[in-house]
Amino acid sequence: MLLDDTIAAISTAVGEGAIAVLRVSGPGAINVVSRVFRGSAVPERMQHRQSHFGEIYDVTGVIDQVLLTIFRGPHSYTGEDLVEISCHGGILVTRKILSLLLDAGARSAEPGEFTQRAFLNGKMDLTQAEAVMDLIRAQTELALRAANEQLAGYLGHELAQIQDRLLTTLAHIEAYIDFPDEAISPDTGTMLSNRLEEITGSLTKLVATAGQGRILRHGLRTVIYGEPNVGKSSLLNLLLGYDRAIVSETPGTTRDTIEETINVRGIPVRLIDTAGKRSSEDAIEREGIRRTELQLGQADLVLQVVDASAPRGNERERARSSDSSDEAAGVLNDRAKSENERQRSVRSDNEREHLMASAGREDRILVLNKVDLGLHSDWATSPGVRFSCRTREGQEALNQAIWDFVMASGLSGENFRIAISARHQACLQKAISDLEAAKAGLAKNELPELISIELRGALDAIGDVVGRHDTEDLLGRIFSEFCIGK
């Protein structure tokens, strides 16, 4: 990694805006900028964090009027000399200024390179660097809060404490390596094993936040599922607040899956509207249904929508009819249902159940839609949310049910402080399995050398999370204070 060159980039999004910001970072940052800037002061003599008005110019004349802010390393975002140029937010203007900076000796920055430098220069650990991206991508208040906690170093701090406990234990075990005659006594073995147990417990707690981390970063994958014409697309539109999907009384309206994110009390919920499930000869519709099944397999939560104004299992019948709305009205009056139909209904329910189970899904909320048309007695005792896309009845209850579902998976407001990512999870799981191996080694009275290898493996895995591998330094520090009592 080369830190001795100077990088430059347009830091704001591409497009037109009132202003845009370019950043230049590296040992030559101030020098590079001084070659293209003239204004109320010379960059070399500007004070740290002070802004100066001036012009960026080239041989043809003035390119733009700008504000220049100088940050002197190490007190900058990257830890190096850093200059921010605030210019007008035009696409051509920003490109021209960037190309002037490159001509003046800077190199075009790679994606994420400013933050990478901040990490390499010790301004932040890896979890904080990752949090910058989480913060930029956050779509809800909770996701933003979790990103901010991580950016503030909460996760890194938690891990540092665990590393410390583990290091002390490792130091204890390594002390025995220096004295080969000395075996670890059973008492000491138990004590060390208990410590490892506690550390494993702390790591397990962190790993348990991976689920919420995934939800906060990528949203709760929520598939809207059900027979044709029950109001799935209507539900998507209602929750979204605008008419995203086509709604019509014709069954089989939705062919493709439609995905949009909504915010349910701070939880990002990715709603996926799907094609209603029915047997069809139509190739496009069959493809739609195949996609529905694919989505079900990846769902965190299924909103199973039924037309609760009609008898159970009747949706399928209606789906075959081309003129469903008239039929739906007819069905309402048709309280008498043959035994035959009832059995079919049971079968179709079983099928659904099976599909969800085979896709590994049990988590669903039953949405009893169309209750504005009356609740059919078949659904009277069903544990679902009574809902109407027409009157909006049940919207709060549905939000509550989604919230309860997320909370039931072990979340609480407090937990949102830490929400680890898939990468963190993989590292921490490796650490846990190394610790388990070390504990097994202690129980079998293995050589301290072997146990120490496992513990170092665990420390490395935790180090991977924060991007720091200073086991030797830290051990040296501990040993320097260590009294072996010999």
Ligand X SMILES: Nc1nc2c(ncn2[C@@H]2O[C@H](COP(=O)(O)OP(=O)(O)OP(=O)(O)O)[C@@H](O)[C@H]2O)c(=O)[nH]1
Out of 233, 304, 314, 425, the residue judged to bind ligand X by CB under 6 A: 233
Residues 258-287 that bind ligand X (CB under 6 A): 275-276
Out of ligand X, Mg ion, none, what residue 52 binds, judged by CB under 5 to 8 A for its kind, is none
Out of ligand X, Mg ion, none, what residue 166 binds, judged by CB under 5 to 8 A for its kind, is none
Residue 182 binds to ligand X (criterion: CB under 6 A): no
Residue 32 binds to ligand X (criterion: CB under 6 A): no
Nearest to 73, CA basis, from 113, 130, 117:
117
Rounded Cα–Cα distance for residues 18 and 199 (Å): 52
Out of 43, 231, 384, 394, the residue judged to bind ligand X by CB under 6 A: 231
Residue 252 binds to ligand X (criterion: CB under 6 A): yes
Q: Of the two residues 254 and 280, which places its CB atom closer to Mg ion in the complex?
A: 254
Task: Give, in order, the Cα–Cα distances in Å from 304 to each of 55, 225, 364, 391.
Answer: 61, 5, 7, 19
Nearest to 228, CA basis, from 182, 171, 180, 285:
285
Q: Segment near ligand X (CB under 6 A), from 17-25, 94-102, 208-216, 251-259?
A: 251-259
Strand arrangement of the beta sheet that strand 301-307 belongs to: 258-264, 267-273, 220-226, 301-307, 364-369, 385-386
Q: Of the two residues 115 and 233, which places its CB atom closer to ligand X in the complex?
A: 233
Distance in Å from the first CA to the final CA of the chain: 45
Out of 209, 280, 369, 421, the residue judged to bind ligand X by CB under 6 A: 369
Residue 92 CB neighbour total at 10 angstroms: 9
Q: Is the separation of the CB atoms in 22 and 11 below 8 Å?
A: yes
Out of 58, 141, 363, 372, the residue judged to bind ligand X by CB under 6 A: 372
Shortest Å distance, C-beta 224 to ligand X: 8
Which residue has the closest beta carbon to ligand X?
276
Q: Segment near ligand X (CB under 6 A), from 109-117, 248-256, 340-348, 396-404?
A: 248-256
Residues 448-467 that bind ligand X (CB under 6 A): none
Buried b (16+ CB within 10 A) or exposed e, 321-341: eeebeebbeebbeeeebeeeb
Q: Of the two residues 12 and 253, which places its CB atom closer to Mg ion in the complex?
A: 253
Please provide residue 366's backbone torsions phi and psi, each rounded to the nearest 5 degrees.
-85, 120
Could you list the residues that contact Mg ion (CB under 5 A)? 232-233, 253-254
Number of H helices, E strands in the chain: 17, 13
Out of Mg ion, ligand X, none, what residue 313 binds, judged by CB under 5 to 8 A for its kind, is none
Q: Segment near ligand X (CB under 6 A), from 263-271, 387-395, 403-411, 444-452?
A: 387-395
Q: Segment near ligand X (CB under 6 A), from 259-267, 347-355, 364-372, 458-466?
A: 364-372
Shortest Å distance, C-beta 262 to ligand X: 16
Rounded Cα–Cα distance for residues 45 and 31 (Å): 11
Shortest Å distance, C-beta 369 to ligand X: 5
The encoded tokens of residue 100 equal 């002037």
Shortest Å distance, C-beta 298 to Mg ion: 19
Residue 394 binds to ligand X (criterion: CB under 6 A): no
Q: Segment near ligand X (CB under 6 A), from 59-67, 247-255, 339-347, 443-451?
A: 247-255
Encoded one letter per residue, x for contact with ligand X by CB under 6 A and - for no contact, window 211-230 reads -----------------xxx
Rounded Cα–Cα distance for residues 393 and 271 (Å): 19
Q: Of the two residues 130 and 307, which places its CB atom closer to Mg ion in the complex?
A: 307
Q: Of the two residues 232 and 456, which places its CB atom closer to ligand X in the complex?
A: 232
Contacts of 174 (CB under 8 A, 6+ apart): 448, 452, 475
Shortest Å distance, C-beta 233 to Mg ion: 3
Residue 254 binds to ligand X (criterion: CB under 6 A): yes
Nearest to 291, CA basis, from 327, 317, 332, 255:
255
Residue 243 binds to ligand X (criterion: CB under 6 A): no
Rounded Cα–Cα distance for residues 284 and 406 (Å): 34
Shortest Å distance, C-beta 283 to ligand X: 17
Q: Is the separation of the CB atoms in 417 and 146 below 8 Å?
A: yes
Residue 288 binds to ligand X (criterion: CB under 6 A): no
3-class DSSP state for residue 260? strand
Out of 145, 217, 364, 370, the residue judged to bind ligand X by CB under 6 A: 370
Please provide residue 355's backbone torsions phi and psi, each rounded to the nearest 5 degrees.
-60, -45
The encoded tokens of residue 222 equal 């929520």
Rounded Cα–Cα distance for residues 441 and 452 (Å): 10
Number of residues that bind ligand X (CB under 6 A): 23
Shortest Å distance, C-beta 251 to ligand X: 5
Out of ligand X, Mg ion, none, what residue 251 binds, judged by CB under 5 to 8 A for its kind, is ligand X
Q: Of the two residues 51 and 253, which places its CB atom closer to Mg ion in the complex?
A: 253
Look at strands 220-226 and 82-89 and give their pairing.
unpaired
Residue 424 binds to ligand X (criterion: CB under 6 A): no
Rounded Cα–Cα distance for residues 185 and 337 (Å): 77
Contacts of 13 (CB under 8 A, 6+ apart): none
Shortest Å distance, C-beta 238 to ligand X: 8
Which residues lie near ligand X (CB under 6 A)? Answer: 228-234, 247-249, 251-254, 275-276, 369-370, 372-373, 388-390
